[in-house]
Structure 1
Amino acid sequence: MDYLPIALSLVAVLVALYYFITRNHNLFKKHGIVHIPPTPLFGNMGSLARRQITIMDLLTKTYQLDSKAKYIGFYEFLTPVIVLRDLDLIKAVTMKNVEQFSDHRPLVNKKVDPMLGGMLFMLNGDQWKHHRNMLSPTFTSSKIKTMFKLMSECASRFAEHLSNLPEEQRETEMKGLLTKYTNDVIASCVYNVSIDSVKEPNNVFYVYGKISTSLATFKRTLIILVHRNVPWLAELLQLKVVDSHIAKFFYDQVAESVEIRQRTGARRSDILQLFMDNNKKREPRQEMTVQDMANHAFSFFFGGFDTVSSQTCIIAHLLAENPDVQERLQQEIDETLENNNGELTYDAMHEMKYLDAVINETLRLYPIAAFLDRMCVKDFELPPARPGDKPFTVKAGMNIWIPVSAIHQDPKYYENPSKFDPDRFYENNKAITNSGAYMPFGLGPRMCIGNRFALTEMKVLLCHVLAKCSIKLAPRTITPLQFEKGVFNLTGRNGFWLAIEPRKSSYCFFSVSASAVSCN
C-alpha cells in the first residue's frame, strides 16, 4: 500500500487547518499595534479557557500592556479585537459615532436560541432601534416607581426570613439565598406571579431561572464562547443556552397572562402591563407581538436573576469587611425610616446619598460587566495608538472592547483604586459619574436599559435587610474577596459565605406590603 499520498493529504489538511486558525493572528503585528502574541486557536484567551485567570484580571493585564497606547490589540480565540484605553476614543465610539458602532457582536446564534436572541441586548441595526423605542417608556423613573411596592413586598418577606434564622443557620451562603429574592422580584414585577422561593425553593420559576441564566459555570461559558466564535458549530451541535422546554414555559406565562388581561380587562402594576399599555399608543404594525413581549420579559431573568444577586452578594461581603461603612449605612436607613413613620418609600429611598455611594463604589470595584463591546458596522479610522504610529482603520464587522473593570481600577482616574471607599462617591458623585471613567451599565444609547430597575431592586433589599440585620464575616468567608476563574460572571470562589445577625434596636419598621408592624 502506498502511504505517501495519504501522508501528503494529511499534511495538507494540517497545513490548511493551521492556516485557518491563525489566519488573523498577524493583523496587529502587521499594523504595529501593541499586543500579546497569540497562541494558535486560543489567541489571548488560553489562560481563561484553562481556568487560570478571571476575565477581569485578563482584561487588566491587557490594559496595562502599554500605558501610553490609546488602544491595544487582543485576540478572542480566532477573532481580532481592539481594546480601547483612551476615554476620548471610548466616547467617540459609544456616543459621537454611534451610527458606526451601533451593534453588539452576536452573543448567541439566534437560530439555536431564538428567545435569547430576541432580547434587546442581542438585537442589532434597525431592529434594535425599533425595540428600544418600544421599551424606553417602560423604564422611566415613574414606571419603576409603580413596581416599588412589589419589590418591597419581596424584600420585606426576605428580610423577615433572615432576621428569624436559627442561630445554627446564621452562617449562610448568600448567593443561594439572594437568587431566591431576585427570582421572586422578577416573577412578581414581570410575570404577575407571587412566589416565596425561600419557603418553596422548588418552584418552577426558580428552578428554570437558575438553569437558564447562570453564566458562572465553566460549561456555560464554553457554550457562549462557541456561539460567539463558531456560530455554525453551535448550530450544528444544537448547543442551546436556554433549553426549548424552558423557553416555552416563559413564553406560555406571557401568552396566557396577555390573553386573560385582554379578555377580562384586568390590570396590574407590572412590566407586562406596561408593554400592553405601550402597544395601545402605537400603530398596529409597530406593536410588540406576544413573542416580543416574551423575549423582553425573559431578558429580566437572563440579565438580572444571577447578576443582581451576585452584585448584592459583593455589596454584602464588602459591608462585612468594612463594619464602619455598614454601621454608617444602617444609621442612614434608620434615620430615613424614623423620618417617614417607619415606612420605606420610593422617594425617601432615592434621597439616601450614602446608600447610593455604597452601591456606586461597589459597581466601580466590581462592575457587572467586565467589558463593553461594540461591533463596527462601517469602516472607521482610529488615530495612531502611540506617537509615531500610523492610524488604524477598523473594518466593518470588527469588534471593539471597552475594559470597564480595568478603567475603574486605573489610578489615573481613581485615587487608591483598590480601596473600597464609598466616600469618593458621597462627596463627588456627579463629578465621577459624568467623568467618562465610570461605566458600570455602559455608555451611550446602548447602555443597559434596565439599570434603574436593577438599582432599585438592590436598594430596596439592602434597606429592608440592614434595617433588621447586620452582616458579619463568617468562618467560611474568604477574605479578601476572590472570584471563580474561567467564567464570565462574577461569582465568589467557593460561594459567598457570610453570617447574619439580627439587630437590636427600638424603632418599629412598618412593612409597605401589609398592616403588620415589625419591632426590632
Structure 2
Amino acid sequence: MIQNIYNSYKNRRYVGMYQGTLPTLMLRDPELIKQVTVKDFDHFVNHRPIVSENQDPVWNRNLLSLQDEHWRIMRATLSPTFTSSKMRAMFKLMEQTAQQYVNFYLEQKKNTIELEVKDSLTRFANDVIGNCAFGVNVDSLKQPENEFYLKGQDATDFAGFLKSLKFLINFISPTFADFFRIRLFNKSTTEYFKTLVRDTVNYREEKKIHRPDMINLLMEARKGTLKYEESNNQKEAGFSSVEESSIGKDTKTTNIGMSDEDMAAQVFIFFFGGFDTVSTLMSFMCYELATNPDVQKKLIEEIDETFKENDGKLTYDVLNKMKYMDMVVTETLRKNPPFISTDRVCTRPYTIKPVNADEEPVHLRVGDIVLLPMSGIHHDEEYFPNPSKFDPERFSEENKDQIVPYSYIPFGAGPRNCIASRFALMECKTLMFHILNNFEITVIKKTTIPMKLEKYQFNPGLEGGFWLGYQRRQQIR
C-alpha cells in the first residue's frame, strides 16, 4: 500500500493520505525528508503514540514512545550504550550465541537441513537479546518452549486476527482502546520483564557483578557514569549505520534518577525492536542469497578469505572490514526494509514552502503527521534503477557515493533515527558469517519463488514462510 501510494504520484514532493481517520502527509522527496528530520527537527521531535499514556507504563516510558524533553534526556543517557567500544565488548557475547546456533545444526549431521528460517532466526535473535541485554543464557533451539522466548514472542508477534485487530485499534484510536481497556501487550508479559530486570539489577548490585551487557550499561547510566565516546570513524559499522546527533552526544546529562521501571522500559523496547526486525532482516538476506547464488558465492569467498587471514578468529574490527558482507546487508535493507515506514508528529506550526511551479504552501498544525515511506523510496527507480533486482554492487566503493542522500533510510533519519543500528548490523553480520562458514543456503521445494509478501499480518514476511535449506559445506581449511 505504501509503495502503491508512493508510485501513484511521481514528480510530487509529497502526497496526502489517511491512516484510518488521521490525515497524513507522505514525504516523497529526499531533500524534504532531510528538511523535516534534520534541519527543522525541532518542529518534528516526536513519533506518533501507539498506545495511550495510561495503558502501559513500561511501553510509554521507553525511548521510542517518550516525547519532547523526556526523549532528549533519555536519548542522551542511552546513546553511549551503542558506541563502538560498547559494541566491541558485547560482540563476544553475540559471537558465543552465533556459534551456539550453528552448532545446533552441525550436530544434526545431515547434508541438507530444510527449515523455516524465520522461526529459527527469531530464536537466535531471542537468545542474543537474552545474552546481550538481560544477562540470561538461553538456547531456544534446544529448548523451544523456554519462558524467555515465549514471553518475547507474545510481546512482538502481531500475526493472527485478534492481535492485528488490537494493534489496529490502538494505532487508529488510542483513546478508544484506553476507554475499553484494549491492551496491546499482555500485563503478564510486561510484568515478567519488569521483574526480570529488577531482580537482575538487585542481584548484581548485591554481588558486585559486572557483565558487558545492556543491564550493566543501564546501571551505569542510572549512576550518571556512562558517557558518549566519540568514534574516529562513524561509518565503521557499515553504510547503513546512522550517525548519532548532537542530542545523543550531550555530555551534560548525568544522574537522571532512572527507576527500575524506566530501566525495564528501555530493555523492553530493545527486545521489541530486536526480536522481530533483526530476524526479519536476516530471513530476507538468507532468501536473497539462496535465490541469487552468484552473490552467495562471492560472499562465501570473502568469508573464507577472512577466516584464513585471521586464523579462524572473528573480531568486531575484522567483521567491520568485510566490504562485500556490508554490501549484501545494505542491499537487503534497501530491497526489504523491516520497517516499511516511520513517522514524525508536528510539534510546532510548520510551513512547507513551494518549490515547484504547481505547488502552494502546505501549513502543518501541531499534531499533524508526516510519514517517511522507506519501502516506497527504496523502490523508486529514480534513485535505484531496476529496484526489484537484488544487486549489492549498488553499494560498492565505486557506486555508493552516487546514492542520493536521504533516499536510503532503513533506520530512519535525523536525531530520532534508530539508536541500535550498529547492534542490529553486528548481529546480522556475525550470524551470517558463521552460517556461511559452515553451510550454503539453498532453495528447496517449499521455497516461495518468486517472492510473495504476506498480506495478512503486520510483521513483514513471505507467503508460506521462509523455507530454505542449510547445505553443509565440504571445505578444506
TM > 0.5: yes
Q: CA deviation at 1:434?
A: 6.7
Query: Which residue in the other structure is 1:322 paired with?
Result: 292
Counterpart CA distance in 1 for 2:152 and 2:329 is 25
Query: Which residue in the other structure is 1:150 paired with?
Result: 93
What amino acid does structure 2 have at the position aligned with 1:457? E
1:101 maps to 2:44: yes
1:412 maps to 2:382: yes
Is the contact between residue 369 and residue 440 of structure 1 (CA under 8 Å) also seen in structure 2? yes
1:301 maps to 2:244: no
1:481 maps to 2:424: no
TM-score normalized by structure 1?
0.84
What amino acid does structure 1 have at the position aligned with 2:72? K
**Equivalent runs, 1:45-444 vs 2, <5 Å:** 58-165=1-108, 167=110, 170-281=113-224, 286-384=256-354, 387-428=357-398, 430-431=400-401, 435-444=405-414
Evaluate the alpha carbon distance shift between residue 429 and residue 446 of structure 1 in structure 2; reply closer, same or farther with a 3 A threshold.
Answer: farther
Is the contact between residue 358 and residue 422 of structure 1 (CA under 8 Å) also seen in structure 2? yes
Query: Which residue in the other structure is 1:36 paired with?
Result: none
Counterpart CA distance in 2 for 1:106 and 1:385 is 31
What amino acid does structure 2 have at the position aligned with 1:393? H
What amino acid does structure 1 have at the position aligned with 2:126? N
Structure 1 range deviating more: 258-267 or 125-134: 258-267
Counterpart CA distance in 2 for 1:451 and 1:119 is 17
Is the contact between residue 357 and residue 423 of structure 1 (CA under 8 Å) also seen in structure 2? yes
Evaluate the alpha carbon distance shift between residue 267 and residue 187 of structure 1 in structure 2; reply closer, same or farther with a 3 A threshold.
Answer: same
TM-score normalized by structure 2?
0.91
Is the contact between residue 216 and residue 491 of structure 1 (CA under 8 Å) also seen in structure 2? no
What amino acid does structure 2 have at the position aligned with 1:320? A
What amino acid does structure 1 have at the position aligned with 2:437? A
- Give CA deviations for 1:36-70 in whole Å, capped at 9, x if unaligned: xxxxxxxxxxxxxxxxxxxxxx1111112221221
Query: Which residue in the other structure is 1:26 paired with?
Result: none
Q: Percent identity between the aligned chains?
A: 38
Q: CA deviation at 1:218?
A: 4.3
- Give CA deviations for 1:106-151 in whole Å, capped at 9, x if unaligned: 0122322221222211111111101101101101011011010111
What amino acid does structure 1 have at the position aligned with 2:320? H
Evaluate the alpha carbon distance shift between residue 431 and residue 222 of structure 1 in structure 2; reply closer, same or farther with a 3 A threshold.
Answer: farther
Counterpart CA distance in 1 for 2:387 and 2:179 is 45
Is the contact between residue 71 and residue 385 of structure 1 (CA under 8 Å) also seen in structure 2? no
- Give CA deviations for 1:90-120 in whole Å, capped at 9, x if unaligned: 1110000000011111012232222122221
Q: In terms of Rg, which structure is larger?
A: 1
Evaluate the alpha carbon distance shift between residue 120 and residue 217 of structure 1 in structure 2; reply closer, same or farther with a 3 A threshold.
Answer: farther
Give the one of 433, 457, 461 matched to 1:491.
461
What amino acid does structure 2 have at the position aligned with 1:267? H
What amino acid does structure 1 have at the position aligned with 2:115? T
- Give CA deviations for 1:71-98 in whole Å, capped at 9, x if unaligned: 1010111010001111111111000000
Q: CA deviation at 1:386?
A: 5.2
**Structure 2: where are the runs of 5+ without partners?**
226-252
Query: Which residue in the other structure is 2:245 paired with?
Result: none
**Equivalent runs, 1:453-472 vs 2, <5 Å:** 453-472=423-442
- Give CA deviations for 1:424-446 in whole Å, capped at 9, x if unaligned: 11234652567221100000000
Query: If each structure's helix is expressed as a fraction of its own residues, which one has the higher value?
Result: 1
**Structure 1: where are the runs of 5+ without partners?**
1-57, 508-520
What secondary structure, in the 3-state scheme, does the structure 2 residue paired with 1:121 have? Answer: coil
Q: CA deviation at 1:285?
A: 5.4
What secondary structure, in the 3-state scheme, does the structure 2 residue paired with 1:122 have? Answer: coil
What amino acid does structure 1 have at the position aligned with 2:219? M
Evaluate the alpha carbon distance shift between residue 108 and residue 469 of structure 1 in structure 2; reply closer, same or farther with a 3 A threshold.
Answer: same
What secondary structure, in the 3-state scheme, does the structure 2 residue paired with 1:147 have? Answer: helix
What secondary structure, in the 3-state scheme, does the structure 2 residue paired with 1:446 have? Answer: coil
Is the contact between residue 187 and residue 193 of structure 1 (CA under 8 Å) also seen in structure 2? yes
What secondary structure, in the 3-state scheme, does the structure 1 residue paired with 2:397 have? Answer: helix
Structure 1 range deviating more: 163-172 or 459-468: 163-172
